[in-house]
Each structure stands twice: as C-alpha cells, then as structure tokens.
Chains A and B, each alone.
Chain A
Amino acid sequence: MADKPNVIVVGGGLGGLWATMRVAEAGFPVDLFSLFPVKRSHSCCAQGGINACLDVKGEHDTVWQHIVDTIKGGDYLAEQPPIRSMCEQAPGLIRTYDRMGVTFSRTPEGGMDQRLFGGVKKRRTAFAGATTGQQLLYAIDEQVRRHEDEGRVRKYEGWEFLSAVLDSEGVCRGVCAMDLETMEVRTFQAEAVIVATGGMGLMWGRSTMSTNSTGAAASRLYQQGCQFGNPEFAQFHPTAMLGHDKLRLMSEACRGEGGRIWVPREPGDKRDPLSIPEKERFYFLEEWYPTYGNTVPRDVASRAIFRAVRHMGLGVGGENTVFLDLTHHTRKFLEQRLGGILDMYQTFSGEDPYTRPMKVYPSMHYTMGGLLVGYEKDDATGAMKEGSARNHATSIPGLYACGECDNAYHGANRLGANSLLSASFSGRVAGEAAATFLKGKKTRSEVPTSTFEAEQARQVKLNEKLLTSRGKENPFALHRELGEIMQERVFVERNNEDLDKAVDGIRKLRERFNDVSLDDLGMRANQSLSWARQIHDMIVLAEVIAKAARMRDECRGSHYKAEFELKVPEGKFAGSPEYEEYRARWKSNNETWLKTTVATNTPDGPSIEYKPIDISVLPPEAPRDYR
C-alpha cells in the first residue's frame, strides 16, 4: 500500500465517511483522521430526519419542489446547479442508506415512512425513530469499518489535523497531524486531501453542537490561504435549553404542539413561574404575531425572544431565558406527542417539563458558511457534472471539502432535514471527485522531504510556544469571552455598531492569546494544549465572521440587520403598485448583494470580496413570502 497513490480524509462524520467509502471503492487507499473514534462524531446528534423526494405518502411530491424549497429556503444565496444535483440524487442516496440497513421508521406495508418537516408542505423527511443522525452515521461507519477490515482504509482515530502540507506551488501534498495521546506531530503524504470537519458552533461559546464543532480545522486551512465562503451565515435555533456545558436543542415540535413562549411582565421577577398569575405573564409571540402566535418561523421566533430579553430586559429572573410552557396539556397528551423530547429535557435539567415551564433561549445551531468549494456545471442538464474532479474542490489544488465545513447547498439559511442530506451527498461527491483527480496515477508524486519537514517544524514550534508561554491568560477563559462577544453582537439580530465592536473585541482577544499560559505542560494526552490551539483558531475565524457580517448591509436568510429590512407592504400582493415597487427594490438589492461572500486571509486580516452566483435553475423573481 506504501507507494500507491492515496487520499487522506479528515473527519469521520457523515461527510467524511461517505467520502472515504467512495474513494475506497474507486480502488485508492484512504487514511482517515478523526479526533476520536469516528462513530462518536457530531452527526449522531441529529434527531429529526433527512429529506428526499420519495413521495411514499402519495402526495405528488416532486424533486422540482425540493429544489425550489432548498433554493428559496436559502434566500437564493446558494449556487443552484449543485442544489439541483443534490435533490435529484437524494432518493438514490436514501435507497443506499436503506440497503445499508438503517432502521428507518416504516409504514404498515414495510416500506420507508416519511413525515413533515419545517418550511415544507409535503411529507419528504425520512427518519429513524428519534435518532436519525445516529442511525445514518452508524450505517456508513459500518461500511467504512468493512473497508478497514479488508485493508482499504486505515484509521487515525485520536489524531488532530493541524494543517495541510503545501508545496512551493501551493498544491496540497498531505497533512500535518498530532497524536492526541503522545502529542507526536507528524506529516502524512497524500495525492488529495478531503476535509470534512463539521460545523463551527463553538465559536459562540456554547451551542447545540458537539465539542468537535469548533471550526478550528477550517480556520487553519483559511489561514493557509484557502478561501472561505459566506462566513456571516449561521443559523440560530430559537429554543435551546440552557446548560453549563452545552445548549441542547428543544425541537420545534414543542411549539408545534401548542407550547407557549412567555416571560413575566415585571422585569427581573424572581417568583416561581407557577405562582405568576396569567395576567402578569407576557405571551409576546402571541401578542406580536396574532396570526401565527407561537408557531412563527425559526428566525422570527429567535429575534422576538432576543428583543424581549435584550431590548426590553424581560428575561426570566434577569437572565437570558424565556419560558416554553406546555403545562396546559395533560401528561398523557404530552407523553404521546413529545415524550422523547421532554424526557431529554428532564434528564439534562432535572426539572419536570410536564408540570413546570421549560427554560429556553436561542442558540447557535448550524453554519451555512464554510470553506469555499467549486463545481463543474454540466450544461446539458444544468446540474453538477457527475464525477468531475472540480466538484467540491477548494481554492487550494488537491484539497477538497465536504459536509458542514463547506459552504455549499444552503445559502443564507438551511431547510430543516437538509443537512444530513448535504453532508452525505457532498461526501459522496467529494470522494468521487478525488478519485477522478487521482485517476491514471500509478505511484505517489515525488515531493521533496523538505516540504514535509518544514511544515512539521512549523507545527512543533507552535506547540513549543504554547508550552513555554507563561502569560496571565487562561485559554478556556478566552474561549468563554469569545462566546460572549459572538452571543452578544454576532447573533440573531445584528447592527453595524455592534459588529464593529465585535471585530474590535475579537482582535483584542487575539492579542491577549499571545499571553496565555497552559496548566498542563506535559506531553501525554495534553488536552489543554490541543484546546488552546483550537481556541486560537476559533478566534481567527470569528473575526472573519464578524467582519463579513459587518460588511453585508442587507437582510438575507439568517443574517438580519433591522436597518436594512425591506418590508412587504401589508395586505398587498403581486400586481398592486405597492407590491411591484417593493419587488423592484428587492431586485435592485439583489443586484448588489445576491453574491457569495469570499473571505481571504491577508496579513492585515480578512479581505472580503463578492462573487456572482449561478441562478440558472430558478432565477429570483419574487421575494420569499410566508404570508
């Protein structure tokens, strides 16, 4: 296996494992790197489901509708040919998962069942009980384990990716990684590298994501010159339960089943919620949005909660919290409808949601932005060209990205249950692209050993610097401060004054990072060292996010600045002069802003440019309108 041309995959969530499988099937050896056994990857957290138009419910659902929903859901900001490919191939992907033995929930006839999910009118979401992500992850993990058993895949679990090895031409020749047990830093050669390191929620301190979701790997590549797309677009979930360690998602289903959001009318009211009389409660969603009430869409709910708590100072007990109240329902009803979700609340809060209102707040949940990836368009079909080596290629030759760490498919916002799909699909495509890239190669490229030695030396030096720095800053405290800035100023509602402060604050953190000192100076399973490195890289990437958000003066998808909101004229529809005038303003705004944000690292900080988008599948004619 030694000198056969090989591929390195970094990350073993859905994206990385699909890529690994496809490369292995194409006959090239794969070295798979992950912080821990891949079976423990963050993908296991997803509960809801995965979208594909299978139309098992006989509702005449169409692939075209899936394409339209995805494009519009992302507020037109995503490249359209890849979306077309993803939606067209989603049914085939789900069939493959089914063949792998995923325990998809069944109809009485024994076929796959599907259900309704946010923002969509047809039942298009396949699911496996309440643990869809876990079930999909295990299925593809098993396939990769078989390839490992048969000698096509070699796993480096417990290794942290530190950087890409770039040659003098800037071509990716492998990776530099650190064994998290011995802290040994080593380089590994490859003909192509695929990164699939997942989402980046931990820049916001705590989020609904897992500890692997730091974005550090993506940041490292960005710092090495890889372009980053749409950094400012991140999705927030309105109702997450608060925890000291993480913010756990409380499903939308709670509001769907009649959950009421409220705060005490009296700021700072510390009374037991059960003793607060009805008239002293402020059901602000019901008051502000009489038509939809508590079931307003995610982003509207998030901003309303933010407004009540941050602008009006009405957070429960003066904290960043509102009540999500289901106590008006009977226990029996709740057990039937929301049992699994409420049990989870009980497990992690110790409080009984059947008799006491739950405490929730919006949380960082998904990153649409990521390493900028390209594709080759097939002019005959208007979709992505099958098997092209350009699909999912980053701006660094030989480097591919897939899964949540790339910027494709979701534009300015992600549709529920579309990211298990995009992570899997993009992994498959990236694996096939890398295999095409290697096609015809018989042996490994000749790369001077000095290229590898130089990168290794650079990384060892970074470790040494951290291990010898005796400053006064605690890296964990810096991470908390970073989270506070992001939560406070780069959140559900943004304004330029705050964003300027955020950029400034993050820069100061970066300076202070030079003054850290670690409490562990050993060379064995030194988690402080590994974390400190990741925290540094989160700080770097956070600045990119804040700056891109500062520069985008409009509202699009998850990115909201009140100052630039284009309001739909109330009660007016297409054809009326007021609506047409609004449409014209919307179109002219698109002229300026319907572009992918491209961030590039420079010595003076992030440089931000904008790149046109292929909108040939569904040209934007009318704004999103959920009336």
Chain B
Amino acid sequence: MATPQEFLFRIKRQDSPDTAPYWEQFRMPYAPGHNVVSALMYLREHPVNSAGNKVAPVVWECNCMEEVCGACAMLVNGVPRQACAALLDGLPQPIVLEPLSKFRVVRDLQIDRSRMFEALKKVKAWIRLDHGGDIHRHAPLISPDEQDARYLFSRCMTCGCCMEACPQFHQNSTFIGPAPLAQVRLHNSHPTGAYDKEERLHAIMGEGGITDCGNAQNCVQVCPKEIPLTTAIGELGRQTTAQWLRDLFAR
C-alpha cells in the first residue's frame, strides 16, 4: 500500500448532551506508528479543521493507552474498539470517529458509562468480605482450570464495546447488557463469592435481566479482551433456571 501524505479524519462532534451533533474534518501529516489516541493528541495541539479554521480541540477520554483501562472506547470506522489500539496505518480513509451511541454524550467523543457501573452494583459484583484486615487465612483453594476460566472474565474493563454492539441494549431499554452479566458468572464461580449467588441471580431474573438477551451474539465478536460473553450468558441461563425451580419449591 502506498504511504499516504496525510491522514484525513471525519469526527462526529457534539458540544453537549442536549445539542445536535455535527461532523468536522481534520487533516494530520502522515507519520508511521500513529494510533487514534496519538492523532487526537496531535489535533488538540493543532486544532484546525480542514477548512482551515481554528476550532476547539476534540474532547475524548483516555488513560492507560495500553488497552487495559477501557476509557477510550469509541467507534472507529463504525467499529466499537479502543482508540489507543487502533493503528492508523492500514485504516481506510477518511478515518471516521464517533462516540459510542448507546451512552449519554458528555462532549464530542467522551461518553458517560455510569449505567454500567450502576449495573455492577445491581448484580453485587463483589465478594463480601467481613473486613479488609488480615484474618490469617487465604481464600479457599481454587483449581488452576477454574481460575483460568475465571481469569477470562476478570479482565473486563467496562469499556462498553459489547454494550454498543448489543441490539437489546440502548438508552430506551432496561436490559442490563452483556458485560455486567459476565460479572455474575465470575463472582458466582468463586468459592466464597458463591455465598451470594442467589442474590445475584435474582438481580438478573427480573425486568431487564438475562431473558432480555436476544442471542444476537454481537457482543462476543467485538470484545477487545475476547471475553466469552455468550458462554457466560448460556451458563447463567442454566443457573437462573435452576434458581427459578428452587424458588418454586421453596414457596
């Protein structure tokens, strides 16, 4: 592929949550090794659109720049992914950047994912410790296989890509979405985390819970951490059914 002279960006901008979005184009001289975050850094130092007008720098969020903090997820050429890991070399131009569409836009590419963090509360995505002091005991033993399986889910960085891809999750739906569901799978599989299994399952058995999953399988395809979300949802389907039966007989 011939090396281009420059990069051309088409960026969807929005000044605030309640104003209309608009598109703006920017150019950046070519240099090898750029990614979307480093390009946005260049543009904030040189905030001139392709019409030659000085404009306010594009707002976006990033922290680690190593694809582990989850902050910089956005749509790059229509695909939800981490901007820091999206190398410009090889991306078709113009490079189109948009905020994830399923969340409130704070400004430009910055979004508010607090709904995901609230969901983590709803499903009690934690292990209940008596306290954080030393009790001179470890957690119960966990087999390497089980730990490897748990590790797949414990790397979820709450980036929201899977939520973006899910047709059932949007601003007008109550569906909790794939990422918080996977955290139920994670915590239910821990020997002491399992003590609160029932409560977690109840949290996903009602409205907006697991039965709202339409099985589109989009989530698992976009997860940058390759988290087996659909496998987790399948397992939870079985767990909730069993719980439903237990509830029935307990009545």
Contact = CB atoms under 8 A, between A and B. Distances in A.
Query: Is B one of A's binding partners?
Result: yes
B34 A244 contact: yes
Interface stretch (B67-75, B164-172, B205-213, B229-237): B67-75
B107 A524 contact: yes
Contacts of A106: 142-144, 147
B65 A210 contact: yes
A520 B56 contact: yes
A148 interface: yes
B242 to A, nearest CB: 22
B117 interface: yes
Interface string A126-161: 001101001100100011011011000000000000
Contact of A519 (B56, B107, B126): B56
Interface string A64-107: 00000000000000000000000001001101101111011111
Interface stretch (B1-9, B154-162, B215-223): B154-162
A21 interface: yes
B68 A45 contact: yes
Interface residues of A, number: 71
A134 B157 contact: yes
A101 B187 contact: yes
Interface residues of B, number: 73
Which residue, of A95, A106, A344, has the highest number of chain B Cβ atoms within 10 A?
Answer: A106
Nearest to A431: B132
B57 A520 contact: yes
Contact of B61 (A21, A36, A110, A524): A36
A169 interface: no
Contacts of B132: 18, 21-22, 25, 96, 143, 428
Nearest to A133: B68
B190 interface: yes
Given A99-B192, A101-B193, A243-B38, A524 B47 contact: no
B138 A44 contact: no
Given A22-B132, A244-B34, A42 B155 contact: no
B45 A476 contact: yes
Contact of B147 (A95, A96, A105, A480): A105
A328 to B, nearest CB: 25
B68 A103 contact: no
A147 to B, nearest CB: 10
A521 B61 CA distance: 19
Contacts of A149: 121, 124
Given A110-B142, A142-B127, A242 B33 contact: yes
A477 interface: yes
A212 interface: yes
B121 A522 contact: no
B57 to A, nearest CB: 6
A519 B57 CA distance: 7
Given A134-B155, A134-B157, A44 B69 contact: yes
A428 B138 CA distance: 18
Contact of A95 (B41, B120, B135, B150): B135
Contact of B136 (A92, A109, A135, A477): A92
A181 interface: yes
A143 B141 CA distance: 21
A404 to B, nearest CB: 15
B16 A524 contact: yes
B85 interface: yes
A104 B64 CA distance: 22
Contact of B138 (A98, A524, A525): A98
Interface stretch (A278-286, A345-353, A487-495, A501-509): A345-353
Contacts of B87: 347-348, 350
A527 B61 CA distance: 10
Contacts of B61: 36
A348 B157 contact: no
Interface string B33-63: 1110110011011010000001111010111
Contacts of A115: none
A110 B135 contact: no
Contact of A103 (B33, B44, B154): B154
Contacts of A245: 35, 37-38, 41, 65, 84
A92 to B, nearest CB: 3
B141 A110 contact: yes
A618 B129 CA distance: 37
B122 to A, nearest CB: 9
B143 to A, nearest CB: 5
A508 to B, nearest CB: 20
A211 to B, nearest CB: 5
A99 B127 contact: yes
A129 B151 contact: yes
A622 B243 CA distance: 65
B154 A138 contact: yes
A145 B125 contact: yes
Residue with the greatest number of chain A CB neighbours at <10 A, chosen from B33, B42, B157: B33
Interface in A436-470: none
B158 A37 contact: yes
B210 to A, nearest CB: 21
Most chain B CB inside 10 Å of its own CB: which residue of A45, A103, A142: A103
B117 A474 contact: no
Contacts of A107: 144
Contacts of A243: 33, 35, 38, 65
- Which residue, of A42, A96, A480, has the highest number of chain B Cβ atoms within 10 A? A96
A391 interface: no
Interface string A199-233: 00000000000111000000000000000000000
A148 B126 CA distance: 12
A177 interface: no
B66 to A, nearest CB: 6
Given A37-B114, A476-B45, 15 more contacts: A22-B132, A39-B70, A40-B70, A44-B64, A45-B68, A101-B126, A110-B142, A128-B154, A134-B68, A146-B126, A244-B41, A244-B42, A476-B41, A520-B57, A521-B56
Q: Which 9 A-B pairs have the closest CB atoms?
A: A92-B134, A110-B141, A244-B38, A142-B126, A245-B38, A525-B107, A476-B45, A520-B56, A40-B69
12 contacts: A18-B132, A41-B63, A42-B64, A92-B136, A99-B138, A109-B141, A142-B120, A243-B33, A348-B84, A524-B15, A524-B107, A527-B59
